[in-house]
Amino acid sequence: MAGSLDALLRPRSVAVIGASNRRKSLGGMVTERLFDFRFTGKIFPVNPRQEAIHSVKAWPSILDVPDPVDCAIVVVPRDAVPAAIDQCIEKGVGAVILITSGFRETGEEGRRLEEEVFAKLKAAGIRAIGPNCMGLLNTSPEVSLDATFTPVPALPGPIGFASQSGALGVVVLGISEERGIGFSQFVSLGNKADVTENDLLEAWEDDPEVPVITAYLESFADAPGFLRIARRVTRKKPVILVKAGRTEAGARAASSHTGALASADTGTDALCRQGGVLRVDTVEEMLDTAWFLAKAPLPAGPRVGILTNAGGPAILCADRLGELGLEIPTLGEATRKVLSDRLPPEAATGNPVDILPSATPEDFAACLAAMLEDPGIDAVISITVTPPLYPARDVLEAITPVARRAGKPVLPVFMVPAAARRELLAVEDAPALFRAPEDAAGALARAVAHARNAARPAEEPREFDRDDAEIAALLGRTLEDGGGYLPQEDVFRVLEIAGFPLAPWRVAGSREEVLAAAAEIEGPVVLKAVGPGIVHKSDLGGVALDLRDEAAVAAALDRMEEALDGAGIPREGRRWLVQAFRAGGREVILGAHRAPGYGPLVMCGLGGKYVEVFRDVQFAMADLTPSDAREMVRGIRGLALLTGTRGEEGVDLAPLEEGLERLAALVRAHREIAELDVNPLLLFPGGGAAVVDGRIRVAAD
């Protein structure tokens, strides 16, 4: 279903089907919130047994409502939902919020009912959120819609929040109210039968009332789609994600929770990295980061100043910043002079700047101003531990105007008792506040990452020019036989057509053919056994390297026959791969597999036979841009083994990056590839590369 979400997010009239005067019912709570929040449009309560609801005339059915209805909020019991939806369609409503639960999340019968209801809505072109959701709210003064049954009203503000868990949505709104953090829109996604997180990303992409997007998700409705949209959106505004289901146990809880399928974490990390999405572990981190990004300018770089009236917290802060890859440079001479002129001699003016417990609010303000003026500083974290001589609030009042004037972010941390913290909330226009220096460091690191993401040029995955029809035919042969591993020669043909540099190779069926092939190939050769039952060739004695003459090839062939017979490998279909021996390469692995819920993922890492031992590999979704490929390669921990260490000559990484892009294009175009391994791709000092081994397994998508 395409089309704008305006009828949902900014309706001019709403009907509540299942409205009630009873406080303790869902219908009652939703109606009460609608009225309490002072919706700017018209409200039509629908209830056949009531004449009025909250002093407003009630209608027996939505069909009796005389005006057009933009959005119908449905809270009737599950078995009454199909009839209510039929009436909504007949009425021609613009959108539906289906709060009622008892659908997909309860089992097969519920899933069928959900599909039935949403198929009808789709056919009628009506967008809907839910079912099994908490509703939505829009705090914009032009709309002022609270169509939820949350116990606490949300504070208006800049954050857009989409939540797959209604309950967690309520928790977040609760925390934020406690901390003075405001929301522009909140959408509880429920079972996501129609509107998904992808729709909201697009709806919020150009909405100036939603400068920061946050989401809590348990599964992606369409991960490749999310990536494509996020790539675009994160160049305009930050997207911050809490993704549950990180561990096996978490994934199981997630699937029993909203009927969502568990999804592997690798895919989520890859998606976030490639899409520029800021992934956080907790809703607290999500709120801290969102609030900070909404209020402060973006940092121009990673150089942080720390201002503090206590030593310990500043050290914790510096440690955390260091772990996160941010810098704490020594302040410039001019800045240090301003600071030392003002401060007692015991104060530290390097960075962190420790202005001692005796510091006054004016000291905080003056030192902060001086640090912000230092051209070597991109952001300042200011730490206030309960000052003995002044209320903490005075410090915040003194630094607020300084922070507002600066074009750089200021992150005030107040380590003070609860009562003092509440007082801080009363300071108008204050920057986003933090409770612990580590929290501020985390938020700042994410802002630096976002600034980098936002500056990325728009980039698309590269398509390669190659003969897809021939590849499809090669894959199709094995697929028609029920799928499984491709014969070795088909694997090599596919890789060759896809543009990989293969070491010269021949496949031979007989001794004569082996010797003839070896004679044709220039230089020393390699002999490998291929055929049914042979997967890991070396393990079976099926690889002989560096064979320099006919006698060596013949002897290797004899040994191999014997080894394979001894291992009980059938002779039927046994063949020989004769390949040019390419000495001196470093081994890397390239791979791809289909990850449920994410589509194909590609992988690269240090390869060869120790790949399982080192596990030094990087994953990405197959929607891979040239920069993604570059970043994957740069992410390999043992990269120095390739680029040269301890006097070894390095290898050219370009064939690895290009190989990744080719691989990604291949698995994007051929969904029948369930698994693909190129192991190893040999990279040579001084340039060049050769594929000497690969496997492909196909299965119906």
Query: Which residues of the chain form contacts with Mg ion (CB under 5 A)?
Result: 679, 693
Phi first, then psi, for residue 138 (nearest 5°) are: -135, 115
Closest approach, Cβ 600 to ligand ADP, in A, equals 22
Nearest residue (CB) to ligand ADP, 224 versus 608 = 608
Q: Is 692 in the site for ligand ADP (CB under 6 A)?
A: yes
Residue 581 binds which entry of Mg ion, ligand ADP, none, CB below 5-8 Å type-dependent:
ligand ADP
CB of 570 to ligand ADP, least distance (A): 18
Q: Is residue 367 within 8 Å of 339, Cβ to Cβ?
A: yes
Cα 378 to Cα 383: distance, rounded to the nearest angstrom: 17
Closest residue to Mg ion, based on beta-carbon distance:
693
| Per CB under 6 A, 556 contacts ligand ADP | no
Q: Per CB under 6 A, which of residues 604..643 are in contact with ligand ADP?
A: 608-609
Binding residues for ligand ADP, total number by CB under 6 A: 18
586 forms part of the interface with ligand ADP (CB under 6 A) = no
Specify whether the CB–CB gap between 100 and 78 falls below 8 A. yes
Which entry of Mg ion, ligand ADP, none binds 587, CB below 5 to 8 A by partner kind? ligand ADP
Choose between 101 and 679: whose C-beta lies nearer to Mg ion. 679
608 binds, among Mg ion, ligand ADP, none (CB under 5 to 8 A by kind): ligand ADP
Return the residues of window 79-108 that contact ligand ADP according to CB under 6 A.
none
Nearer to ligand ADP, 233 or 526 (CB): 526
Residue 538 interface partner, choices Mg ion, ligand ADP, none, CB cut-off 5-8 Å depending on type:
ligand ADP
Q: Residue 132 touches which of ligand ADP, Mg ion, none (CB < 5 to 8 A by kind)?
A: none
278/580 with CB nearer ligand ADP: 580
Q: Which residues contact 603 (CB under 8 A, 6 or more apart)?
A: 589, 590, 591, 592, 593, 617, 618, 619, 620
**The only residue of 20, 234, 579, 618 in contact with ligand ADP, by rule CB under 6 A:** 579
Residues whose CB falls within 8 Å of the CB of residue 371, separated by 6 or more in sequence, listed in order: 305, 307, 331, 335, 339, 353, 377, 380
Dihedral angle, C-alpha 418, 422, 424, 429, nearest 10 °: 140
Q: Which residues pair with 45 in a beta bridge?
A: 16
- Examine residue 582 and tell whether it contacts ligand ADP (CB under 6 A): yes
Q: Smaller CB distance to ligand ADP: residue 62 or 611?
A: 611
Site membership for ligand ADP, residue 693 (CB under 6 A) = yes
Among 390, 464, 581, 614, binds ligand ADP (CB under 6 A): 581
Would you count residue 501 as binding ligand ADP (CB under 6 A)? Answer: no
Secondary structure of the chain: what % helix, strand, coil (to 5)? 40, 20, 40
Give the range of 21-29, 307-315, 435-443, 538-546 binding ligand ADP by CB under 6 A: 538-546
DSSP category for residue 503: P
| DSSP letters spanning 633-697 | HHT-TTTHHHH--TTPPPB--HHHHHHHHHHHHHHHH-TTEEEEEEEEEEE-BTS-EEE--EEEE
| Cβ neighbour number for residue 361 with a 10 Å cutoff | 20
**Beta bridge mates, 141:** none
Pairing mode, if any, of strands 505-508 and 575-580? antiparallel
CA distance 574 to 561: 9
Asked whether 657 and 643 are in contact (CB, 8 A), the reply is no
β-sheet bridge partners, residue 217 = 243
To the nearest whole angstrom, how small is the minimum distance from the Cβ of residue 572 to ligand ADP?
20
Q: Which is nearer to ligand ADP, 530 or 665 (CB)?
A: 530
The residue ranges of DSSP E strands in 220-319, in sequence order, are 239-243, 278-280, 304-308
- Residue 578 binding target from ligand ADP, Mg ion, none, CB below 5 to 8 Å by type: none
Provide, rounded to whole angstroms, the least separation between the CB of residue 608 and ligand ADP: 5
DSSP structural state of residue 425: T
Taking the least distance from each CB to Mg ion, the nearer of 363 and 693 is 693
Task: From 179-187, 274-282, 547-555, 574-582, give the range in contact with ligand ADP by CB under 6 A.
Answer: 574-582
Sole binder of ligand ADP in the list 247, 330, 340, 538 (CB under 6 A): 538
- Verify binding: residue 688, ligand ADP, rule CB under 6 A: no
Instruction: Give the separation between CA 459 and CA 183, rounded to whole angstroms.
Output: 32
Instruction: State in angstroms the smallest separation of the CB of 594 from ligand ADP.
Output: 22
Residue found under tokens 């208006």: 156
Strand 694-698, strand 689-691: pairing:
unpaired
Among Mg ion, ligand ADP, none, residue 163 binds (CB under 5-8 Å by kind): none
**Of 459 and 539, which CB lies nearer to Mg ion in the complex structure?**
539
The minimum distance between CB 579 and ligand ADP, in angstroms, equals 4
For ligand ADP, the closer of residues 159 and 502 by Cβ is 502
- Between β-strands 95-98 and 127-129, what pairing exists: parallel, antiparallel or unpaired? parallel
Q: Is 156 exposed, middle or buried (0-12, 13-18, 19+ CB in 10 A)?
A: middle
Contact flags string 258-297 toward ligand ADP, x per CB under 6 A: ----------------------------------------
Regarding 680 and contact with ligand ADP (CB under 6 A), the answer is yes
Task: Write out the H or E segment, with its range, that includes residue 515.
Answer: helix 511-520
Among 4-12, 390-398, 423-431, 578-586, the segment contacting ligand ADP (CB under 6 A): 578-586
For position 543 contacting ligand ADP by CB under 6 A, the verdict is yes
Q: Where are the beta strands (DSSP E) in 525-598?
A: 525-530, 543-547, 575-580, 586-595
Q: Taking CB under 6 A as the rule, does residue 506 contact ligand ADP?
A: no
Q: Work out whether 503 is an interface residue with ligand ADP (CB under 6 A).
A: yes
Residues of this chain, 38-57, that bind ligand ADP according to CB under 6 A = none
x/- letters, 508..537, toward ligand ADP (CB under 6 A): ------------------x-x-------xx
- Using CB under 6 A as the binding rule, whether residue 491 contacts ligand ADP is answered as no
Amino acid at 221: A
Q: Which residues pair with 577 in a beta bridge?
A: 507, 528
Which residue number, 204 or 505, has a Cβ lying nearer to ligand ADP?
505
User: What residues have CB less than 8 Å from 310, skipping those under 6 apart?
Assistant: 354, 357, 383, 385, 415
Q: Please report, as ranges, the residues that interact with ligand ADP according to CB under 6 A.
A: 503, 526, 528, 536-538, 543, 545, 579, 581-582, 587, 608-609, 679-680, 692-693
